Structures are given as structure tokens and as C-alpha cells.
Amino acid sequence: MQSTESEEWSQLVKRLSKRFSDGDPLELDGILFLIGVQELGQGPKRFKKDEKMALMHIAICRLLEPLGHYEFQGYDKDGWPHYELIESLPMLKSGEQSLLMKKLILAYFREEGF
């Protein structure tokens, strides 16, 4: 991650942490969860463990959609978004996955005007 992206990531984590976790630094999974809740669009509420996992999956699909890996299919009867896998991701090392997700998260929040 380039220096400016690294600084931008730190600022984003600070802003999100201040707003959603009383200042405790959010980790990548927590930020993915927040994106999933945003994409679900049903506001804040209590989620079961399986719903939390589904929200993180929604976030990952949404982040990878612009790269052509997923395509939005629509919403189910409960209002949950669904995506179809179009192209599998290449095999990435753990650090590479994290770096890719951070870059995509930065792009997402820029697009959302946050």
C-alpha cells in the first residue's frame, strides 16, 4: 500500500472507530461488517451469528463487483442482496488479500462520500 493510501486507511479506521466502536480500533472484519450492514440498508439492529457472516459476505461481493468477480442479482423476499460469482479470484497470499480488501474498502468509502 502506498504511503498516501496507508495514511488514508489509517484516517478511515480512526473515523469509523470513533463513530462505531467508541474509539476502539476496528479491524478489517469489523469494517466489512459495517459495509454489509450499509449494503443491506435495513439500519442498525441485532444480528445473529450467521447473519453477521452473511453481511460480511455481502460486503466482499459488493467490493469485488467492480473488478468483475461478482454480479448483483437482486434482493430476496427479506430484502437481502444476492450476488453471483462471475470470475474466481486468483490465489492470493494472506497479506495480499488484506491489501486488496483495504484498497477496495478505501474505494468504496470514497464512492460513498465518507
Instruction: Give pLDDT tens digits for 20-29.
Output: 988 789 999 9
Q: What band does 43 get if pLDDT is binned at 50, 70 and 90?
A: confident
In tens, the pLDDT along 46-81 reads 999 999 999 999 999 999 999 999 999 999 999 999
| CB contact set of 49 (below 8 Å; sequence gap of 6+) | none
Band of the pLDDT at 16, cuts 50, 70, 90? very high
pLDDT reported for residue 49:
94
Q: Looking at residue 44, what is its pLDDT?
A: 80
pLDDT tens-digit profile of 80-94? 999 999 999 889 898
| Per-residue confidence (pLDDT) for residue 23, from 0 to 100 | 74
pLDDT at 99: 94
- Look at the chain and count its residues: 114
58 and 40 in contact (C-beta within 8 Å)? yes
pLDDT score for 5: 87
Angle at 94 between CA 55 and CA 5, to 5 degrees: 80
User: 60-68 long-range contacts, Cβ below 8 Å, gap at least 24?
Assistant: 60/32, 60/101, 62/35, 62/108, 63/35, 63/101, 63/104, 63/105, 63/108, 64/89, 64/104, 66/104, 66/107, 67/104
- For the chain, the average pLDDT equals 93
